[in-house]
Structure 1
């Protein structure tokens, strides 16, 4: 069966690594990002046959843009078997700074509304077909709020809750909802971090583990598993202990400053 994977944020990092892993497994690719020229150049450089992929330029923060990309995919390549809502942004914020309120709004527009809009064009058609997988890329940052990371942590916590809700809505339809929560993965998104990143993974290793989890039909998976253990322990810490442990920790870069 010639299966099709629709992947957002495919121009770099986790999205690109997932695209390569799905190609290696023999899937056709529907690749989505704002920088469509970069994806096309990458696919050609990798020697992926042109009939095995298409690029859809879209901004997931623009609902009409990403919905149109999904509709174009169905029209040109058919209904995907897997849709991976991977596109996301991560910036530090300081609520005392007015411009950072706009950063929070942009983060939620991309990481949350954009995720739902990515799934939207496919839900009814997958339900009618009785099969498909909708994959939301969350983060272990969803587990507890980290100082200076309020926008990202909150948005990824919302990804977990949204996917859980959607999973319940689609129960019994044959459409599965999978939540993947990466730990630290070596990508352009994390390379500017100013703090230690335990259990740092290379993007191809993460993509391989995520591919196996998605194909296995799991509902929720933290990758790597060690970060899942760390996340559970952090959740159990009393607030006073957690707050003291995070005191003085370096914060993520803000958009300004």
Structure 2
């Protein structure tokens, strides 16, 4: 591909939101570097790299191999939907969620930051509306997404003088296979044996969720028209988020039921 094309880096590109972003970026004439543990579905036009984002050496080697290329878009999208309650979730579940959802994202941003500065690019990190909501049954997922959002708030201030846009993408329900954790070997040691109410809700809700390809188009259109830092893409999540914050300010209690306002 021509080096004159704008360059995008996408992690978690093999499925779900990452795959849909990769496909749509290609239609917009963007060169894509894609990272995933399974890249078998990706278009042959993609520069696909098949490894785990937790592999810091591989991530560093890739970033260094493209150190001369300005990056226009970085989509730090890789994540795992580790469910489970706070106390019943094994330590391996917490570590898995932390390593993928937080540490690997920060590493990705750090390694590609010089190229983002060179390209005056945009860093879009897939967080979740869950980062600012409260519900039972998803302790590792919610906690790590909340931690990630806090880290991005710190990065926002650091980025002000670098010319890089930072966007905390906080979607609601998007139809992906994030709930299909059985595809990961880690699930044998990191998840409870029985599904909880949150998992059951998600499996049902996913059937009616927004398709990933439609969501990806909205995200890329939003970037072109000027996306915010706190990027809540699904208005239906806002009432619940605002109610949770009213409970915090009013010294109340967390919600007592999934989907019910405090």
2:235 is the alignment partner of 1:245 = no
Match of 1:103 in 2: 93
Residue 169 (str. 1) matches residue 135 (str. 2): no
Q: 2:80 aligned to 89, 93, 109, which one?
A: 89
> Any runs of at least 4 consecutive aligned residues in structure 1 with deviations exceeding 6 A, and if so which?
none
Q: Aligned pair 1:197/2:194, yes or no?
A: no
Question: Which residue does the alignment assign to 1:206?
Answer: 215
* Structure 2 residue 71 is the aligned partner of structure 1 residue 68: no
TM-score where L is the length of structure 1: 0.81
CA RMSD after TM alignment: 2.5
What residue number does 1:150 align with? 139
Q: Is the 8 A contact 1:130 1:173 kept in 2?
A: no
Distance (Å, rounded) in 2 between the aligned partners of 1:247 and 1:233:
11
Partner of 2:236: 226
2-side partners of 1:56 and 1:19: how far apart?
13
Residue 200 of structure 2 aligns to a residue whose secondary structure is coil
Alignment correspondent of 2:246: 236
Equivalent in 176, 179, 184 of residue 187 of structure 1: 176
Displacement after TM superposition at 1:217 (Å) = 4.0
Matched residue, 1:160 = 149
Once the 2 structures are TM-superposed, how far is the Cα of residue 23 of structure 1 from its aligned partner? 1.1
Alignment correspondent of 1:9:
12
Structure 2 length as normaliser, TM-score?
Answer: 0.80
Contact 2:244 2:255 in 1 (8 A): no
Q: Is the contact between residue 213 and residue 221 of structure 1 (CA under 8 Å) also seen in structure 2? A: no
Contact 2:135/2:254 (CA < 8 Å) preserved in 1?
Answer: no
Task: Please tell me whether the aligned partners of residues 184 and 200 of structure 1 are also in contact (alpha carbons under 8 angstroms).
Answer: yes
Aligned CA distance change for structure 1 residues 162 and 213 (closer, same or farther; 3 Å)? farther
Structure 1 201/234 Cα, relative in aligned 2: closer, same or farther at 3 Å?
A: farther
Tell me the residue number matched to 2:185: none
Which residue pairs with 1:251 in the alignment? none
Q: Which stretch has the larger CA shift, 209-218 or 145-154?
A: 209-218
Q: Distance in 2 between matches of 1:56 and 1:73?
A: 13
Please report how far the alpha carbon of residue 12 of structure 1 lies from its aligned counterpart in structure 2 after TM superposition.
0.4
SS of alignment partner, residue 256 of structure 2: helix
Deviation, structure 1 residue 26? 1.3
* Residues 243 and 225 (structure 1), Cα distance of their counterparts in 2 relative to 1, 3 Å cut: closer
Cα distance change on mapping 1:234 and 1:201 into 2, 3 Å? farther
2:196 matched residue in structure 1: none
Q: Retained in 1: the 8 A contact 2:86–2:140?
A: no
Alignment partners' CA distance in 1, 2:87 and 2:230: 35
Contact 2:11 2:36 in 1 (8 A): yes
State how far apart, in whole Å, the 2-side matches of 1:244 and 1:178 are: 31
